[in-house]
Amino acid sequence: GPPPPPLPSWKINGFLTSNRKPVKHQDLFMACDALVTSHDMHIYWRKVKGHSRAPGTDKDLNDLADSLAKQGAAVGTPWSFNPLWLPDSVSSRSNPPRVCVVT
């Protein structure tokens, strides 16, 4: 079958990659996971190669994520946001981000 989605695998193995190296941007993934969990949402996490020029699903999905991030930034947040939800390392308490997309 297909490999498991990265986030659940990373949570199980202490946020280490298959090469036993720390996952980059772990604090962002943990913050996203905390939001998902606290709102009883179900998300399927899929890693896609960012900014690929080769045609295919990864490029299409990355382009879609970029487009949605730009739309979200232009419109603003679709729900209330509490900057305390994010770890200090990724948030300026006085100027929280309006949209957060990891690609």
Averaged pLDDT score across all residues of the chain: 72
Q: Does a structural domain hold residue 54?
A: no
Look at residue 82 in the predicted model and tell me its pLDDT. Answer: 61
Quick one: what percent of the chain has pLDDT higher than 90? 4
Q: Is the pTM of this model over 0.85?
A: no
At 6 the pLDDT is 63
Specify if 52 maps to a domain: no
Domain identity same for 68 and 41: no
How many CB atoms sit inside 10 A of residue 23's CB?
19
Q: Are residues 43 and 76 in the same domain?
A: no
Q: Give mean pLDDT, residues 50-54.
A: 78
Tell me: do 94 and 67 sit in the same domain. Answer: yes
Q: Is the pLDDT score of 103 beyond 50?
A: no
Amino acid present at 85? W
- Using one digit for the tens of pLDDT, what is the confidence trace for 1-46? 555 556 778 888 888 888 999 988 888 888 888 888 887 777 777 7
Residue 72 structural domain: 62-103
One domain for residues 77 and 38 = no
CB of 103 closer than 8 Å to CB of 67: no
Residue with tokens 């020029």: 53
Examine the domain organization and report whether 39 and 74 are in the same domain.
no
